[in-house]
Amino acid sequence: MVMKKIILFVSLAVCLSGCSLDVNTDPNYPSTVGSSLVLPSVENSIATVVGDGMYNYAGFFAQYYDQMPEANQYNAISEYSFTEQSQLIDRSYRTLYAGALEDVDVILKDKDATAADKYAATILRAFTFQILVDNLDKVPYSEALQGSANSTPKWDEGQSVYTGVLAELDAAESVLGSTSIKASDLLLKKNLTQWKGFANALRLRMYLRLVDAGIDVAGYTAKIKTLVDGGVFFTGDIKYDVFSDQADKRNPWYAANKVNLAMNHVAAYPIVTYLLATNDPRISYSFVKATKTSVYAGELPGSKVALSSKKNADYSFLNYYPTKPVYFFTQSELQFFLAEAYLRFYNNDTKAQAAYEAGIAADFTARSMSDSPSVMYGNGGKVAWATAADNTAKLSLIYMQKWVALCYMDHMEAWSEIRRTDVPKLSSKTANQINSDATVYTPGELISPMRNGFGDGNMVKRMFFPLTARQLNVNTPAMVPVTTSVWWDKK
C-alpha cells in the first residue's frame, strides 16, 4: 500500500521556495517519524510526479499522444498556448521540494539512519534535482531546504546542480562500508546492489548530457568509460510497482486521466506512423485501432480546432493500465545509453549492436510482449542494425528506438532525450502540408503543432518557472521563453 505522508505541510510560501516547513501538532498523532519510515514517502512523491504530472505534459511534447477532438482538458498543452499562469509544473515542483526533498533531508539528518539509508536517499535526491533541472534549467539548490533561515533561496545554474549532486553521490558512496539499508524501501526492496546500479545509470545519463554540453568533454568521457568498463548497473527496471486496481491505489496517471477525467488523449501521428512503418507489434500495447476505420490512426499535433470535422472515432485511443508501475529508469534506456557509449567512445560496433538489441529486448520484456523482439532487429527487421550504413545512422537508430521504448513508460526522459539528441528530428513539412499529402512526411519525424501558440515551427524546450515560486520568492529568475533550450541542449 502506498504510504500516506504523516508530516503535514502548512506554510505554502516556504513550500514553494523549496525550504523547510513547520508541522501541525496533534496529541493523537506523531508529528515526526523515524527515517526508516520516510524513504517510501520520498519514493511515492517522486512517483507521483514522474508518473503523472510530468509524465502527462512530456507525453505531448514527445508526440506520443494529443488532445482528443471531442474533449478539452489539454488544449493548451496540445496547441502550445500555455503560459506561466497555466501552472503546468507548479504542483510537481511543490511535490518534489516540499515532499521528496524535504523527506530526503529528514533521512540525511537522522543519526539513526545507516550510511546505506543515506546513500539511497542521496540517489533519490540526485534523481529529483536532475529532472527539475531538465524541466527548468535553473532551480533552488545550494540555498534550498533551509527553512525559515532562508525562505527565498537563490536559483542555481543547472550545470552547477548537476555537478553538485554528482559530487553528493560520490561522497555518499565513499562512506558506505559494509552497512545495509534499514529503511523501508518500496522501490528496490533494500537491495543495495540495485541501488548502486541505479546510481551508476544516473551518472551515465548525466555524464552524457555534460559531454554533449561541451563541459570537460575529456574528463566526462573518461568517467563514462570507467562506468561502462565496470559494468555495475541495475538489472531489470527501476520501477515503483505498488499499485492495485482499487480506489486511491491505482497508477496516478490512470487515476487522473481514466477515472477522474474520463479520457482526453488519442494517439499522436508521429509515433503511430513510425510504429506502422517499422511493423512494430508494440503498437498494440499503447494504442487501440480507431473505431471508425479499424486501423491505427494518430492525430496531427495541435489539429483539433483546424480539423474540426475529425471526431474521436477517427483516431486510436490509448490502452489504460490501472496497476502499471511508474518507471524511474528502464533497463531499455540503460542499454541504449550503453549502445551509444560503445559507438561514440569505443568505436566498438559489435558491443554497440549487442546493447542496441538488448535495449529493444528489454522493452519487449517490460511490456510482456508475446512477440519475439527479433522481429525488430533480426533478418528482415525494419530496424535491424544492418539497415544503418554508418555510425551517424546507427546513432539515429539507437535514438529512434529509445523514443519508441520510452513511449508509455517514461515520458519525461523521452522529452529530455529528444532535446539532447535532436532525434526524432523536426519535420520540414508543416502539419497542414502533411494533412494535404501524407507522402511528403517521413514517418516518425516530429511535427510542429498545426495551431502553435509559440509560433510556427517552434517546439517546447523547457517549462516556465512555477508561478507560485515567482509570487513567493523574489529570487525566482525572470521569465524565459519555453522555446529556449536548457543548458545541456546545445544541438
Query: Who wins on pLDDT, 32 or 114?
Result: 114
* Residue 23 CA neighbour count, 13 Å, CB half: 16
Quick check: 17 pLDDT over 80?
no
pTM score, whole prediction: 0.93
Mean pLDDT of 88-99: 97
Which residues are registered as beta bridge partners of 248?
Answer: none
Q: What percent of the chain has pLDDT over 70?
A: 93
Structural contact between residues 405 and 62, judged by C-beta atoms closer than 8 angstroms: no
According to the model, what pLDDT value does residue 136 have? 98
Mean pLDDT of 124-145: 98
* Residue 9 pLDDT grade (very low, low, confident, very high; cuts 50, 70, 90): very low
Interatomic CA distance for residues 465 and 83, integer angstroms: 10
Mean pLDDT of 425-444: 98
According to the model, what pLDDT value does residue 26 have? 38
* Residue 147 pLDDT grade (very low, low, confident, very high; cuts 50, 70, 90): confident
Mean pLDDT of 399-421: 98
Which residues are registered as beta bridge partners of 172?
Answer: none
Q: Does an H or E element contain 143, and which?
A: none
Please write the tens of the pLDDT for every residue from 200-211: 999 999 999 999
Please write the tens of the pLDDT for every residue from 317-364: 999 999 999 999 999 999 999 999 999 999 999 999 999 999 999 999
What residue type is assigned to position 460 of the chain? V
What number of other Cβ atoms are within 10 A of residue 260's Cβ?
8
Which residues are registered as beta bridge partners of 65?
Answer: 267
Interatomic CA distance for residues 314 and 293, integer angstroms: 7
Interatomic CA distance for residues 51 and 321, integer angstroms: 12
* Residue 148 pLDDT grade (very low, low, confident, very high; cuts 50, 70, 90): confident
According to the model, what pLDDT value does residue 262 have? 86
Quick check: 24 pLDDT over 70?
no
Quick check: 472 pLDDT over 90?
yes
Query: What is the distance, to the nearest Å, from the Cα of residue 111 to the centroid of all Cα atoms in its chain?
Result: 33
Quick check: 456 pLDDT over 70?
yes
Interatomic CA distance for residues 460 and 485, integer angstroms: 9
Please write the tens of the pLDDT for every residue from 257-312: 999 998 999 999 999 999 999 999 999 999 999 999 999 999 999 999 999 999 99
Q: Which residues make Cβ contacts (< 8 Å) with residue 294, sequence separation at least 6?
A: none
Provide the 8-state DSSP code for 386.
Answer: G
* Residue 81 CA neighbour count, 13 Å, CB half: 13
Q: Is 119 exposed, middle or buried (0-12, 13-18, 19+ CB in 10 A)?
A: buried
Interatomic CA distance for residues 65 and 165, integer angstroms: 33
Please write the tens of the pLDDT for every residue from 26-59: 333 344 567 789 999 999 999 999 999 999 999 9
Mean pLDDT of 454-474: 97
Please write the tens of the pLDDT for every residue from 149-202: 999 999 999 999 999 999 999 999 999 999 999 999 999 999 999 999 999 999
Quick check: 11 pLDDT over 50?
no
Query: Who wins on pLDDT, 221 or 4?
Result: 221
